Chains A and B, each alone.
Chain A
Amino acid sequence: MDVNKLVKRIKEGDGRAFDELYERMRKAVYYTAYSILRDPDASENVMQDAFVRFYQSLDSVDARANAGSYLLAIARNCAINEYNREKRSVSVSLETLDYLEARSPSDTGVLDVAARVLDERAFKVLVLCAIDGYKRREVAEMLEMPIGTVTWIYNKAVETLRQTLEKEGL
């Protein structure tokens, strides 16, 4: 179900639509936060905050706008605020984030490795494309990128990850 249509149904008072929106977007929101925080608990808290803020600002969501992209933007901003709050001495801008501080070379899960070797954009593309039910076109819309760019970044990210896994014998 299209996120904009779900938003419309929520605005019309359909109580089930918010559940559907959550189900549709929860992983994307979580991994958007994770791409910055690299911490499961903190990312889950940010995911909750993002949905709460999104719901509270529904009136300002234009039916013609890209609601999915808007929700992910809220998640990203919440994650950056959280990151800055945790690292009070390090100020992080919206454009450049120092991921190295949050990376742990001892992690062995595929996601951990991806988080370690990819930048925020590549990690986000890789993970969103891996979420069940998401098409490349939908990922492109959520990230506001051309579909060709998403495919290019995705292919490059998978290859980088494959080489790293092979090199590290994982």
Chain B
Amino acid sequence: MKRKDVEKLLKKEVNAFDDHNSLAEIKGRLGLNATNAQVQRDGSVALSRRKNRIAAAVAAFAAVVLIVVMTIAFWPRGTQSPSGPSFPVFTSKSDIYALAGISTGELLSEMGGASASSAITSSRSGQEYGQEASGELVDELDGYMQLVDTLLNAAATDIKFEELTEGEYRYRSVAVVSSANGSTVTYTMLYNEEITEEEYDEGEEERESRIEGVMRIGEDEFPFEGQREVESEHGESETELELKTYLDENDRGTYVRFKQEIENDEQSYAYEIYKNGERTDEFELEIEKEADETEISLEKNGVKYELKEQRRGNGNVITVEYENGGRHYKLVAVPQENGKYKYYHND
């Protein structure tokens, strides 16, 4: 076993620490969140005015994908980061970001009432497959299939980035996302990025910056904040981007925490969803695209699902593979007319 493997194992285990929503417990003991209130700078308390325009569950999920768009918007194809040339420009990985961004458009189109535009449109019975699969893990996977489907069926996108000379924010990126049915959704991000710490020392460079801004989609505005850290040493670099996107500027307890890590050629996306200060969901995604094939790994509760799209008969299906209890499972997810999926064993 190599030293690097030990460090990797350790890092994974240490950072998987689940605090079982201890923050809510602590704040309860301190009387800080008894009325879901926000303590203002002057010490007064203002009750949050939670909007009801979107059901909480849908909204939290939407926020997840909003952040995916942010990711591509921060690193548009062929455009340098605003923070200077020493930040990496991910041209070789840009397809992955574009792919992730397009999925958001698809999902938000659905939220806005437009018809679903998934490339998988055929509805078929399960006669050509094996026995129908069910169970706890299948149910869990089902909750993420729309996201997976959309990521796998991405279309083209166009992103523009500019530095502004007036107004509250210094940077603007506009992502025009096209869906398979021809409709487009425009995401405008306005933000400031301020370098908070810089260190140079014999070939080593560390840079931290703070990011703050808003994302506009139609009439809705979602505030976000976070930080980016880049460490470079002898030609190798590590980048971490962490963002919190709030569903409502007056409710800082409901948000999605997104973390992207890039270490040389490896990258991962981790999501945590909080509602009223309590973490309600967390999962990790990895997206790999080779030639024309896209593969998504979804890791949740220690189970890693590998998902790929495949052509079968008159339409596409999604194949799923995962290990549980020492056994390897192969499923095929077949889309139905109602937008849901049926799962069959595919051993």
Contacts and interface: CB of A to CB of B under 8 A. Distances in A.
Interface string B115-135: 000000000000000000000
B229 interface: yes
A158 interface: yes
A110 B9 contact: yes
A16 interface: yes
Given A131-B14, A132-B259, A15 B32 contact: yes
B22 A48 contact: yes
Nearest to B197: A2
Contacts of B23: 19, 22-23, 26
B340 interface: no
B22 A47 contact: yes
Interface string A3-17: 000000000111110
Contacts of B43: 13
A130 B41 contact: no
Contacts of B146: none
Contacts of B53: none
A27 interface: yes
Interface residues of A, number: 38
Interface stretch (A68-76, A97-105, A161-169): A161-169
Interface in B20-68: 20, 22-23, 25-27, 29-30, 32, 37-44
Given A13-B39, A133-B240, A48 B25 contact: yes
Contact of B17 (A27, A52, A161): A27
A26 B19 CA distance: 8
**Which one of B15, B44, B231 has the greatest number of beta carbons of chain A within 10 Å?**
B15
Given A14-B41, A19-B252, A133 B7 contact: no
A133 B26 contact: no
A135 B197 CA distance: 12
Interface in A17-42: 18-19, 22-23, 26-27, 30-31
Contact of B14 (A27, A161, A165): A27
Contact of B15 (A1, A51, A130, A159): A130
**Which one of A14, A109, A130, A166 has the greatest number of beta carbons of chain B within 10 Å?**
A130
Interface string B159-199: 00000000000000000000000000000000000000000
A43 B10 CA distance: 18
Contact of B40 (A1, A13, A22): A13
A130 B22 contact: no
Interface in A76-134: 109-111, 114, 126-127, 130-133
Contact of A13 (B17, B27, B29, B41): B41
B286 interface: no
A141 interface: no
A47 B26 CA distance: 9
B328 interface: no
Contacts of A127: 10, 14
A165 B19 contact: no
Contacts of A13: 39-44
Contacts of A166: 1
B3 interface: yes
A132 B11 contact: yes
B293 interface: no
B291 interface: no
Given A19-B252, A133-B229, A159-B3, A14 B26 contact: no
Contacts of B30: 52, 55-56
B232 to A, nearest CB: 13
A159 to B, nearest CB: 7
B20 A14 contact: no
A27 B15 CA distance: 8
Contacts of B157: none
Contact of A52 (B1, B29, B37): B29
Contacts of B7: 130, 158
Given A19-B252, A51-B26, A133-B242, A126 B10 contact: yes
Contacts of A14: 39, 41
9 contacts: A15-B38, A15-B39, A27-B15, A52-B26, A109-B13, A126-B10, A127-B10, A135-B206, A165-B1
Given A15-B32, A16-B38, A48-B29, 15 more contacts: A13-B44, A19-B23, A22-B26, A48-B22, A51-B22, A52-B26, A52-B29, A56-B30, A130-B11, A131-B14, A132-B259, A133-B242, A158-B6, A162-B2, A165-B1
